[in-house]
Chains A and B, each alone.
Chain A
Protein backbone atom coordinates (compact mmCIF):
# COMPACT_ATOMS: atom_id res chain seq x y z
CA UNK A 1 0.00 0.00 0.00
CA UNK A 2 1.30 3.43 -0.87
CA UNK A 3 0.83 5.21 2.43
CA UNK A 4 1.69 8.64 1.04
CA UNK A 5 -1.16 8.77 -1.42
CA UNK A 6 -3.57 7.88 1.37
CA UNK A 7 -2.86 10.96 3.40
CA UNK A 8 -2.75 13.62 0.69
CA UNK A 9 -6.44 14.49 0.77
CA UNK A 10 -6.37 14.59 4.54
CA UNK A 11 -3.53 16.80 5.73
CA UNK A 12 -2.60 14.90 8.87
CA UNK A 13 0.73 16.68 9.29
CA UNK A 14 -1.06 20.02 9.44
CA UNK A 15 -3.58 18.61 11.95
CA UNK A 16 -0.82 17.20 14.15
CA UNK A 17 0.58 20.69 14.59
CA UNK A 18 -2.65 21.60 16.41
CA UNK A 19 -1.79 19.14 19.20
CA UNK A 20 1.25 20.26 21.23
CA UNK A 21 1.58 16.94 23.07
CA UNK A 22 2.18 15.01 19.84
CA UNK A 23 5.65 16.50 19.48
CA UNK A 24 6.94 15.23 22.82
CA UNK A 25 9.16 12.25 23.45
CA UNK A 26 8.47 9.36 25.81
CA UNK A 27 11.34 7.23 27.11
CA UNK A 28 13.57 8.82 24.48
CA UNK A 29 11.30 7.97 21.53
CA UNK A 30 8.80 10.18 19.69
CA UNK A 31 5.41 9.63 21.33
CA UNK A 32 3.08 7.35 19.36
CA UNK A 33 -0.26 7.87 21.07
CA UNK A 34 -2.62 4.97 20.37
CA UNK A 35 -4.79 5.10 23.47
CA UNK A 36 -7.44 7.35 21.97
CA UNK A 37 -10.31 5.13 23.07
CA UNK A 38 -9.33 5.96 26.67
CA UNK A 39 -8.98 9.67 26.05
CA UNK A 40 -8.12 11.91 23.12
CA UNK A 41 -5.40 14.53 23.04
CA UNK A 42 -6.33 18.23 23.08
CA UNK A 43 -5.75 20.77 20.32
CA UNK A 44 -4.25 24.15 21.21
CA UNK A 45 -7.60 25.92 20.65
CA UNK A 46 -9.16 23.91 23.47
CA UNK A 47 -6.23 24.56 25.81
CA UNK A 48 -6.42 28.27 24.88
CA UNK A 49 -10.15 28.36 25.65
CA UNK A 50 -9.45 27.15 29.20
CA UNK A 51 -6.68 29.67 29.73
CA UNK A 52 -8.81 32.45 28.22
CA UNK A 53 -11.70 31.71 30.55
CA UNK A 54 -9.57 31.76 33.71
CA UNK A 55 -7.50 34.73 32.50
CA UNK A 56 -10.30 36.97 31.28
CA UNK A 57 -13.83 36.20 32.41
CA UNK A 58 -13.86 33.71 35.28
CA UNK A 59 -17.02 34.23 37.33
CA UNK A 60 -19.85 32.17 38.73
CA UNK A 61 -22.71 31.94 36.28
CA UNK A 62 -26.49 32.35 36.08
CA UNK A 63 -26.91 34.47 39.21
CA UNK A 64 -24.49 37.38 38.96
CA UNK A 65 -25.57 40.80 37.75
CA UNK A 66 -22.02 41.90 37.09
CA UNK A 67 -20.43 41.88 33.65
CA UNK A 68 -18.01 39.01 34.17
CA UNK A 69 -20.81 36.75 35.35
CA UNK A 70 -22.85 37.74 32.32
CA UNK A 71 -19.98 37.00 29.93
CA UNK A 72 -19.30 33.63 31.55
CA UNK A 73 -23.01 32.73 31.54
CA UNK A 74 -23.30 33.64 27.85
CA UNK A 75 -20.24 31.57 26.93
CA UNK A 76 -21.47 28.56 28.91
CA UNK A 77 -24.97 28.70 27.46
CA UNK A 78 -23.54 29.18 23.98
CA UNK A 79 -21.59 25.95 24.51
CA UNK A 80 -24.86 24.20 25.40
CA UNK A 81 -26.39 25.55 22.23
CA UNK A 82 -23.41 24.33 20.17
CA UNK A 83 -23.86 20.87 21.67
CA UNK A 84 -27.57 20.96 20.84
CA UNK A 85 -26.83 21.89 17.24
CA UNK A 86 -24.03 19.34 16.92
CA UNK A 87 -26.26 16.44 17.90
CA UNK A 88 -29.34 17.90 16.21
CA UNK A 89 -31.20 17.85 19.52
CA UNK A 90 -34.63 19.42 19.30
CA UNK A 91 -34.59 21.60 22.41
CA UNK A 92 -31.71 23.21 24.29
CA UNK A 93 -33.31 22.24 27.60
CA UNK A 94 -32.86 18.58 26.68
CA UNK A 95 -29.07 19.05 26.98
CA UNK A 96 -27.91 18.40 30.56
CA UNK A 97 -24.29 19.12 31.40
CA UNK A 98 -22.78 16.29 33.46
CA UNK A 99 -19.30 15.36 34.65
CA UNK A 100 -19.19 12.76 31.89
CA UNK A 101 -20.87 9.59 30.69
CA UNK A 102 -20.62 7.71 33.99
CA UNK A 103 -22.29 10.59 35.81
CA UNK A 104 -25.01 10.77 33.16
CA UNK A 105 -25.79 7.04 33.40
CA UNK A 106 -25.94 7.21 37.19
CA UNK A 107 -28.28 10.18 36.94
CA UNK A 108 -30.73 8.20 34.80
CA UNK A 109 -30.37 5.02 36.89
CA UNK A 110 -31.06 7.00 40.04
CA UNK A 111 -34.13 8.56 38.45
CA UNK A 112 -35.58 5.15 37.66
CA UNK A 113 -35.52 4.06 41.31
CA UNK A 114 -39.01 5.44 41.77
CA UNK A 115 -40.28 4.29 38.39
CA UNK A 116 -39.30 0.61 38.40
CA UNK A 117 -41.19 -2.11 40.19
CA UNK A 118 -40.28 -5.57 41.29
CA UNK A 119 -40.20 -7.96 38.34
CA UNK A 120 -39.65 -5.25 35.73
CA UNK A 121 -36.90 -6.15 33.30
CA UNK A 122 -33.87 -4.26 32.04
CA UNK A 123 -31.72 -5.38 29.12
CA UNK A 124 -27.97 -4.76 29.09
CA UNK A 125 -25.74 -5.72 26.19
CA UNK A 126 -22.80 -8.07 26.67
CA UNK A 127 -20.54 -5.43 25.13
CA UNK A 128 -20.90 -2.81 27.83
CA UNK A 129 -18.31 -0.86 29.77
CA UNK A 130 -18.62 -1.37 33.53
CA UNK A 131 -20.09 2.12 33.80
CA UNK A 132 -23.11 0.95 31.82
CA UNK A 133 -23.50 -2.23 33.90
CA UNK A 134 -22.86 -1.44 37.55
CA UNK A 135 -25.31 1.48 38.03
CA UNK A 136 -28.09 -0.75 36.65
CA UNK A 137 -27.11 -3.68 38.85
CA UNK A 138 -27.34 -1.35 41.83
CA UNK A 139 -30.74 -0.19 40.60
CA UNK A 140 -31.93 -3.79 40.26
CA UNK A 141 -30.76 -4.66 43.76
CA UNK A 142 -32.73 -1.77 45.12
CA UNK A 143 -35.94 -2.18 43.13
CA UNK A 144 -36.15 -5.93 42.57
CA UNK A 145 -36.03 -5.41 38.80
CA UNK A 146 -34.25 -8.10 36.77
CA UNK A 147 -31.21 -7.54 34.57
CA UNK A 148 -31.17 -9.55 31.33
CA UNK A 149 -28.10 -9.81 29.12
CA UNK A 150 -28.23 -9.38 25.36
CA UNK A 151 -25.47 -11.79 24.22
CA UNK A 152 -22.69 -11.28 21.67
CA UNK A 153 -21.12 -13.61 19.12
CA UNK A 154 -17.48 -14.50 18.45
CA UNK A 155 -17.07 -11.49 16.13
CA UNK A 156 -18.13 -9.17 18.93
CA UNK A 157 -21.57 -8.43 17.48
CA UNK A 158 -24.83 -8.38 19.40
CA UNK A 159 -27.31 -11.18 18.76
CA UNK A 160 -30.44 -9.43 17.51
CA UNK A 161 -32.46 -12.64 17.26
CA UNK A 162 -31.92 -13.24 20.94
CA UNK A 163 -32.77 -9.58 21.54
CA UNK A 164 -36.26 -10.10 20.15
CA UNK A 165 -36.70 -13.07 22.50
CA UNK A 166 -35.63 -11.02 25.50
CA UNK A 167 -38.01 -8.13 24.80
CA UNK A 168 -41.44 -8.27 26.37
CA UNK A 169 -43.98 -5.98 27.96
CA UNK A 170 -41.99 -6.40 31.18
CA UNK A 171 -38.98 -4.67 29.58
CA UNK A 172 -38.71 -1.12 30.87
CA UNK A 173 -35.23 -0.08 29.82
CA UNK A 174 -32.56 -1.14 27.35
CA UNK A 175 -29.01 0.21 27.51
CA UNK A 176 -26.37 -0.38 24.89
CA UNK A 177 -23.26 1.42 23.83
CA UNK A 178 -23.21 2.98 20.38
CA UNK A 179 -19.68 1.66 19.88
CA UNK A 180 -17.88 -0.89 22.07
CA UNK A 181 -14.84 0.59 23.81
CA UNK A 182 -13.12 -2.78 24.10
CA UNK A 183 -13.68 -4.12 20.57
CA UNK A 184 -14.74 -1.16 18.42
CA UNK A 185 -17.98 -2.78 17.18
CA UNK A 186 -20.58 -0.30 15.94
CA UNK A 187 -23.85 -1.61 17.32
CA UNK A 188 -27.09 -1.56 15.29
CA UNK A 189 -28.67 0.88 17.71
CA UNK A 190 -31.34 2.11 15.26
CA UNK A 191 -32.86 -1.37 15.20
CA UNK A 192 -32.35 -1.85 18.95
CA UNK A 193 -34.18 1.41 19.70
CA UNK A 194 -37.04 0.71 17.31
CA UNK A 195 -37.65 -2.79 18.70
CA UNK A 196 -37.51 -1.57 22.31
CA UNK A 197 -40.03 1.18 21.59
CA UNK A 198 -42.45 -1.40 20.17
CA UNK A 199 -42.75 -2.97 23.63
CA UNK A 200 -42.82 0.41 25.37
CA UNK A 201 -39.26 0.27 26.77
CA UNK A 202 -36.99 3.29 26.99
CA UNK A 203 -33.46 3.16 25.57
CA UNK A 204 -30.25 4.71 26.83
CA UNK A 205 -27.33 4.82 24.41
CA UNK A 206 -23.82 5.23 25.82
CA UNK A 207 -22.11 7.29 23.13
CA UNK A 208 -18.80 7.75 24.96
CA UNK A 209 -16.85 5.74 22.43
CA UNK A 210 -18.84 6.79 19.37
CA UNK A 211 -18.84 10.55 19.42
CA UNK A 212 -15.19 10.99 18.50
CA UNK A 213 -15.79 9.00 15.32
CA UNK A 214 -19.31 9.81 14.20
CA UNK A 215 -21.82 12.59 14.57
CA UNK A 216 -25.15 11.14 15.66
CA UNK A 217 -28.38 12.86 14.69
CA UNK A 218 -30.35 12.39 17.88
CA UNK A 219 -33.74 13.36 16.46
CA UNK A 220 -33.49 10.74 13.75
CA UNK A 221 -32.00 8.19 16.11
CA UNK A 222 -34.92 8.55 18.51
CA UNK A 223 -33.10 7.23 21.62
CA UNK A 224 -34.68 8.29 24.90
CA UNK A 225 -31.30 9.05 26.45
CA UNK A 226 -27.88 9.53 24.90
CA UNK A 227 -24.64 10.30 26.72
CA UNK A 228 -21.08 11.28 25.86
CA UNK A 229 -17.88 12.59 27.43
CA UNK A 230 -15.97 15.63 26.14
CA UNK A 231 -12.54 14.21 26.91
CA UNK A 232 -12.83 11.55 24.24
CA UNK A 233 -13.72 14.27 21.70
CA UNK A 234 -10.67 16.52 22.02
CA UNK A 235 -12.35 18.36 24.88
CA UNK A 236 -11.41 18.57 28.56
CA UNK A 237 -11.92 15.91 31.23
CA UNK A 238 -14.73 16.25 33.74
CA UNK A 239 -17.53 17.31 31.43
CA UNK A 240 -20.04 15.54 29.24
CA UNK A 241 -23.70 15.55 28.46
CA UNK A 242 -26.87 13.68 29.04
CA UNK A 243 -29.43 14.11 26.31
CA UNK A 244 -32.90 13.07 27.35
CA UNK A 245 -36.25 13.48 25.68
CA UNK A 246 -38.07 16.25 27.47
CA UNK A 247 -40.89 13.94 28.56
CA UNK A 248 -38.45 11.63 30.31
CA UNK A 249 -36.43 14.40 31.89
CA UNK A 250 -39.62 15.94 33.27
CA UNK A 251 -40.60 12.57 34.73
CA UNK A 252 -37.27 11.80 36.45
CA UNK A 253 -36.69 13.34 39.89
CA UNK A 254 -33.61 15.53 40.46
CA UNK A 255 -30.38 13.60 41.00
CA UNK A 256 -28.63 15.92 43.44
CA UNK A 257 -29.96 18.75 45.54
CA UNK A 258 -28.25 22.11 45.93
CA UNK A 259 -27.92 25.52 44.39
CA UNK A 260 -28.76 26.13 40.69
CA UNK A 261 -31.42 23.40 40.63
CA UNK A 262 -34.09 25.18 42.67
CA UNK A 263 -36.86 27.63 41.95
CA UNK A 264 -37.79 28.42 45.52
CA UNK A 265 -36.55 27.11 48.87
CA UNK A 266 -38.25 27.31 52.25
CA UNK A 267 -37.75 24.90 55.12
CA UNK A 268 -41.22 23.54 54.42
CA UNK A 269 -40.88 22.95 50.69
CA UNK A 270 -38.55 23.40 47.75
CA UNK A 271 -39.67 23.68 44.16
CA UNK A 272 -37.24 22.66 41.47
CA UNK A 273 -35.88 24.69 38.59
CA UNK A 274 -36.97 24.05 35.03
CA UNK A 275 -34.95 21.87 32.67
CA UNK A 276 -32.01 21.68 32.20
CA UNK A 277 -31.09 23.27 35.55
CA UNK A 278 -33.14 20.77 37.55
CA UNK A 279 -30.30 18.28 36.99
CA UNK A 280 -27.41 20.72 37.37
CA UNK A 281 -27.02 21.29 41.11
CA UNK A 282 -24.10 23.38 42.30
CA UNK A 283 -21.63 25.54 40.40
CA UNK A 284 -21.11 23.75 37.11
CA UNK A 285 -17.83 22.95 35.39
CA UNK A 286 -17.92 26.27 33.54
CA UNK A 287 -14.47 26.39 31.93
CA UNK A 288 -14.61 22.82 30.70
CA UNK A 289 -18.17 23.23 29.39
CA UNK A 290 -17.08 26.23 27.33
CA UNK A 291 -13.99 24.36 26.08
CA UNK A 292 -16.20 21.40 25.10
CA UNK A 293 -18.01 23.75 22.73
CA UNK A 294 -14.65 24.82 21.27
CA UNK A 295 -13.66 21.15 20.81
CA UNK A 296 -16.88 20.53 18.84
CA UNK A 297 -16.12 23.54 16.62
CA UNK A 298 -12.66 22.14 16.03
CA UNK A 299 -13.92 18.66 15.08
CA UNK A 300 -16.63 20.08 12.85
CA UNK A 301 -14.09 22.24 11.02
CA UNK A 302 -12.21 19.08 10.08
CA UNK A 303 -15.53 17.35 9.43
CA UNK A 304 -16.80 14.03 10.67
CA UNK A 305 -16.98 12.53 7.18
CA UNK A 306 -13.30 13.31 6.65
CA UNK A 307 -12.46 11.96 10.12
CA UNK A 308 -14.38 8.71 9.59
CA UNK A 309 -12.93 8.22 6.13
CA UNK A 310 -9.34 8.72 7.29
CA UNK A 311 -9.75 6.62 10.45
CA UNK A 312 -11.21 3.78 8.40
CA UNK A 313 -8.11 3.84 6.21
CA UNK A 314 -5.95 3.68 9.33
CA UNK A 315 -8.03 0.78 10.65
CA UNK A 316 -7.79 -1.15 7.41
CA UNK A 317 -4.03 -0.59 7.11
CA UNK A 318 -3.36 -1.47 10.75
CA UNK A 319 -5.53 -4.60 10.60
CA UNK A 320 -3.71 -5.81 7.51
CA UNK A 321 -0.24 -5.10 8.94
CA UNK A 322 -0.97 -6.55 12.38
CA UNK A 323 -2.39 -9.77 10.95
CA UNK A 324 0.94 -10.34 9.19
CA UNK A 325 2.46 -10.94 12.65
CA UNK A 326 2.39 -14.67 13.32
CA UNK A 327 0.32 -15.68 16.33
CA UNK A 328 -1.52 -12.37 16.55
CA UNK A 329 -5.26 -12.64 17.05
CA UNK A 330 -7.69 -9.74 16.79
CA UNK A 331 -10.76 -9.71 19.07
CA UNK A 332 -13.72 -7.90 17.56
CA UNK A 333 -13.87 -8.64 13.87
CA UNK A 334 -17.23 -7.20 12.91
CA UNK A 335 -17.46 -5.58 9.49
CA UNK A 336 -18.99 -2.61 11.30
CA UNK A 337 -16.29 -1.24 13.54
CA UNK A 338 -14.29 1.88 14.26
CA UNK A 339 -10.56 2.37 14.56
CA UNK A 340 -10.02 0.19 17.61
CA UNK A 341 -7.97 -3.01 17.46
CA UNK A 342 -7.95 -5.32 20.46
CA UNK A 343 -5.45 -8.14 20.11
CA UNK A 344 -3.24 -10.70 21.79
CA UNK A 345 -0.19 -12.63 20.69
CA UNK A 346 -0.17 -16.33 21.36
CA UNK A 347 1.33 -17.25 24.75
CA UNK A 348 2.25 -13.65 25.62
CA UNK A 349 0.48 -11.69 28.36
CA UNK A 350 -0.91 -8.32 27.19
CA UNK A 351 0.75 -6.61 30.16
CA UNK A 352 4.17 -7.68 28.90
CA UNK A 353 3.55 -6.35 25.40
CA UNK A 354 2.20 -3.06 26.76
CA UNK A 355 5.26 -2.66 28.97
CA UNK A 356 7.71 -3.12 26.10
CA UNK A 357 5.69 -0.84 23.80
CA UNK A 358 5.72 1.87 26.47
CA UNK A 359 9.49 1.60 26.66
CA UNK A 360 9.50 2.31 22.93
CA UNK A 361 7.36 5.43 23.33
CA UNK A 362 4.08 3.80 22.23
CA UNK A 363 0.97 4.33 24.35
CA UNK A 364 -1.55 1.50 24.07
CA UNK A 365 -3.95 0.17 26.65
CA UNK A 366 -3.65 -3.29 28.16
CA UNK A 367 -6.03 -5.14 30.45
CA UNK A 368 -9.75 -5.71 30.48
CA UNK A 369 -10.71 -2.17 29.37
CA UNK A 370 -13.39 -1.97 32.08
CA UNK A 371 -15.30 -4.66 30.21
CA UNK A 372 -14.55 -7.85 32.13
CA UNK A 373 -17.58 -9.76 30.78
CA UNK A 374 -16.14 -9.46 27.26
CA UNK A 375 -12.78 -10.84 28.42
CA UNK A 376 -14.62 -13.69 30.17
CA UNK A 377 -16.48 -14.40 26.93
CA UNK A 378 -13.17 -14.90 25.11
CA UNK A 379 -11.63 -16.56 28.18
CA UNK A 380 -8.61 -14.23 28.20
CA UNK A 381 -7.11 -12.04 30.96
CA UNK A 382 -7.24 -8.99 28.75
CA UNK A 383 -6.02 -7.64 25.45
CA UNK A 384 -3.67 -5.06 24.04
CA UNK A 385 -5.80 -2.30 22.54
CA UNK A 386 -4.50 0.12 19.95
CA UNK A 387 -7.04 2.83 19.13
CA UNK A 388 -6.48 5.37 16.39
CA UNK A 389 -7.57 8.97 16.02
CA UNK A 390 -7.57 11.28 13.01
CA UNK A 391 -4.19 12.71 14.09
CA UNK A 392 -2.46 9.32 13.92
CA UNK A 393 -0.45 8.40 10.83
CA UNK A 394 0.28 5.37 8.71
CA UNK A 395 3.90 5.77 9.76
CA UNK A 396 2.89 5.40 13.42
CA UNK A 397 1.19 2.11 12.55
CA UNK A 398 4.44 0.93 10.98
CA UNK A 399 6.25 1.93 14.18
CA UNK A 400 3.68 0.00 16.23
CA UNK A 401 4.03 -3.12 14.09
CA UNK A 402 7.84 -3.07 14.30
CA UNK A 403 7.67 -2.55 18.08
CA UNK A 404 5.29 -5.49 18.51
CA UNK A 405 7.67 -7.67 16.50
CA UNK A 406 10.52 -6.57 18.76
CA UNK A 407 8.44 -7.26 21.90
CA UNK A 408 7.51 -10.65 20.56
CA UNK A 409 11.17 -11.58 20.07
CA UNK A 410 12.02 -10.39 23.59
CA UNK A 411 9.10 -12.17 25.20
CA UNK A 412 9.25 -15.58 23.51
Chain B
Protein backbone atom coordinates (compact mmCIF):
# COMPACT_ATOMS: atom_id res chain seq x y z
CA UNK B 1 0.00 0.00 0.00
CA UNK B 2 1.20 3.49 -0.78
CA UNK B 3 1.89 5.95 2.02
CA UNK B 4 -0.94 8.28 0.97
CA UNK B 5 -3.44 5.39 1.03
CA UNK B 6 -2.36 4.24 4.45
CA UNK B 7 -2.72 7.79 5.75
CA UNK B 8 -6.24 8.00 4.29
CA UNK B 9 -7.08 4.70 5.93
CA UNK B 10 -5.90 5.96 9.34
CA UNK B 11 -7.89 9.18 8.94
CA UNK B 12 -11.02 7.16 8.18
CA UNK B 13 -10.37 4.88 11.12
CA UNK B 14 -10.12 7.83 13.49
CA UNK B 15 -13.24 9.48 12.05
CA UNK B 16 -15.31 6.85 13.86
CA UNK B 17 -14.30 8.17 17.25
CA UNK B 18 -16.61 10.70 18.81
CA UNK B 19 -14.31 12.42 21.27
CA UNK B 20 -10.71 12.73 22.37
CA UNK B 21 -11.09 10.00 24.95
CA UNK B 22 -11.99 7.40 22.36
CA UNK B 23 -9.11 8.53 20.15
CA UNK B 24 -6.69 8.24 23.03
CA UNK B 25 -8.05 4.88 24.11
CA UNK B 26 -7.47 3.65 20.58
CA UNK B 27 -3.91 4.98 20.55
CA UNK B 28 -3.19 3.46 23.92
CA UNK B 29 -4.45 0.09 22.67
CA UNK B 30 -2.24 0.44 19.59
CA UNK B 31 0.66 1.21 21.89
CA UNK B 32 -0.06 -1.80 24.06
CA UNK B 33 -0.76 -4.38 21.38
CA UNK B 34 2.36 -3.98 19.31
CA UNK B 35 5.63 -5.66 20.19
CA UNK B 36 7.33 -3.26 17.86
CA UNK B 37 11.01 -3.74 18.47
CA UNK B 38 13.30 -6.68 19.08
CA UNK B 39 14.72 -6.47 22.58
CA UNK B 40 18.28 -6.78 21.26
CA UNK B 41 17.77 -3.60 19.24
CA UNK B 42 16.45 -1.59 22.15
CA UNK B 43 19.84 -0.13 22.94
CA UNK B 44 21.42 3.30 23.09
CA UNK B 45 22.58 3.18 19.46
CA UNK B 46 18.95 3.32 18.39
CA UNK B 47 17.69 5.61 21.13
CA UNK B 48 16.20 9.04 20.43
CA UNK B 49 16.20 10.98 23.65
CA UNK B 50 13.23 13.26 24.17
CA UNK B 51 13.16 15.33 27.33
CA UNK B 52 9.99 13.55 28.46
CA UNK B 53 9.77 10.15 26.79
CA UNK B 54 12.27 7.98 24.95
CA UNK B 55 11.89 6.46 21.50
CA UNK B 56 13.95 3.63 19.97
CA UNK B 57 14.02 3.14 16.19
CA UNK B 58 15.73 0.26 14.38
CA UNK B 59 15.97 0.29 10.54
CA UNK B 60 16.48 -2.54 8.06
CA UNK B 61 16.78 -2.40 4.29
CA UNK B 62 15.47 -5.36 2.25
CA UNK B 63 14.58 -5.62 -1.44
CA UNK B 64 14.62 -1.89 -1.98
CA UNK B 65 12.34 -1.15 0.97
CA UNK B 66 12.97 0.20 4.45
CA UNK B 67 11.51 -1.62 7.44
CA UNK B 68 11.36 0.02 10.85
CA UNK B 69 10.76 -1.37 14.28
CA UNK B 70 10.44 0.98 17.23
CA UNK B 71 9.39 1.42 20.84
CA UNK B 72 8.79 4.06 23.48
CA UNK B 73 8.72 4.07 27.28
CA UNK B 74 5.49 6.13 27.31
CA UNK B 75 2.37 4.38 26.05
CA UNK B 76 0.74 7.36 24.29
CA UNK B 77 4.00 8.12 22.51
CA UNK B 78 4.21 4.43 21.62
CA UNK B 79 0.71 4.56 20.12
CA UNK B 80 1.78 7.37 17.82
CA UNK B 81 5.00 5.50 17.04
CA UNK B 82 2.82 2.57 15.98
CA UNK B 83 0.88 4.85 13.61
CA UNK B 84 4.07 6.29 12.17
CA UNK B 85 5.49 2.83 11.55
CA UNK B 86 2.31 1.78 9.79
CA UNK B 87 2.85 4.72 7.45
CA UNK B 88 6.62 4.72 7.00
CA UNK B 89 7.69 1.09 7.31
CA UNK B 90 7.76 -1.27 4.32
CA UNK B 91 8.19 1.68 1.89
CA UNK B 92 10.85 2.73 -0.60
CA UNK B 93 13.38 5.34 0.54
CA UNK B 94 12.04 7.76 -2.06
CA UNK B 95 8.44 7.49 -0.83
CA UNK B 96 9.57 7.95 2.77
CA UNK B 97 11.51 11.08 1.85
CA UNK B 98 8.52 12.54 0.00
CA UNK B 99 5.95 11.77 2.69
CA UNK B 100 4.61 14.29 5.19
CA UNK B 101 2.87 13.83 8.53
CA UNK B 102 -0.17 16.05 7.98
CA UNK B 103 -2.43 13.06 8.78
CA UNK B 104 -1.44 13.40 12.45
CA UNK B 105 -3.07 16.87 12.47
CA UNK B 106 -6.16 15.50 10.79
CA UNK B 107 -6.71 12.81 13.40
CA UNK B 108 -6.46 15.37 16.19
CA UNK B 109 -3.07 14.46 17.59
CA UNK B 110 -1.19 17.51 16.39
CA UNK B 111 0.07 18.52 19.81
CA UNK B 112 2.16 15.36 20.03
CA UNK B 113 4.27 16.41 17.07
CA UNK B 114 5.08 19.85 18.43
CA UNK B 115 8.85 20.42 18.72
CA UNK B 116 8.36 21.80 22.23
CA UNK B 117 6.61 18.65 23.40
CA UNK B 118 10.00 16.95 23.69
CA UNK B 119 8.60 13.42 23.53
CA UNK B 120 11.08 12.27 20.88
CA UNK B 121 8.52 12.02 18.06
CA UNK B 122 9.71 14.98 15.99
CA UNK B 123 13.26 13.66 16.23
CA UNK B 124 11.95 10.22 15.37
CA UNK B 125 10.43 11.41 12.09
CA UNK B 126 13.69 13.18 11.24
CA UNK B 127 15.53 9.96 12.02
CA UNK B 128 13.22 7.88 9.79
CA UNK B 129 13.97 10.25 6.93
CA UNK B 130 17.70 10.19 7.66
CA UNK B 131 17.73 6.40 7.40
CA UNK B 132 15.72 6.59 4.16
CA UNK B 133 18.22 9.09 2.78
CA UNK B 134 21.14 6.87 3.74
CA UNK B 135 19.58 3.82 2.05
CA UNK B 136 18.69 5.86 -1.01
CA UNK B 137 22.29 6.90 -1.43
CA UNK B 138 23.25 3.19 -1.30
CA UNK B 139 20.89 2.57 -4.22
CA UNK B 140 22.37 5.31 -6.39
Contacts and interface: CB of A to CB of B under 8 A. Distances in A.
Interface string A342-385: 00000011111001100100000011100000000000011000
B75 interface: yes
Contacts of A352: 74-77
Contacts of B119: 351
Contacts of A349: 53, 73-75, 77
B25 A351 contact: no
A366 B28 contact: no
Nearest to A354: B52
Contact of B73 (A355, A366, A381, A410): A381
Nearest to B72: A349
B24 A359 contact: yes
A211 B53 CA distance: 31
Nearest to A368: B51
A120 B119 CA distance: 40
A411 interface: yes
B129 interface: no
Given A411-B28, A411-B75, A351 B52 contact: yes
Contacts of A368: 51
Give the size range of B's interface with the partner.
10 to 19
Interface string B12-49: 00000000110011001000000000000000000000
A382 B53 CA distance: 9
Nearest to A349: B74
Contacts of B53: 349, 351, 381
A364 to B, nearest CB: 13
Nearest to B79: A352
B25 A410 contact: yes
A381 B54 contact: yes
B105 to A, nearest CB: 17
Contacts of A410: 21, 24-25, 28
Contact of A367 (B21, B51, B76, B77): B51
Contacts of A367: 51-52, 118
A50 to B, nearest CB: 25
A350 B28 CA distance: 14
Given A359-B20, A382-B52, A351 B28 contact: no
A359 B25 CA distance: 13
- Most B Cβ at <10 Å: residue of A356, A382, A411: A411
A382 B50 CA distance: 12
A356 B28 CA distance: 11
Interface of B: 20-21, 24-25, 28, 51-54, 73-77, 118-119
Given A352-B75, A366-B52, 5 more contacts: A349-B77, A359-B21, A367-B51, A410-B24, A410-B25
15 contacts: A348-B75, A349-B53, A349-B75, A349-B77, A351-B53, A351-B77, A352-B74, A352-B75, A355-B76, A356-B76, A359-B24, A366-B52, A410-B24, A410-B28, A411-B75
6 nearest A-B pairs in the assembled complex, by CB-CB distance: A349-B74, A351-B74, A351-B52, A351-B53, A352-B76, A367-B52
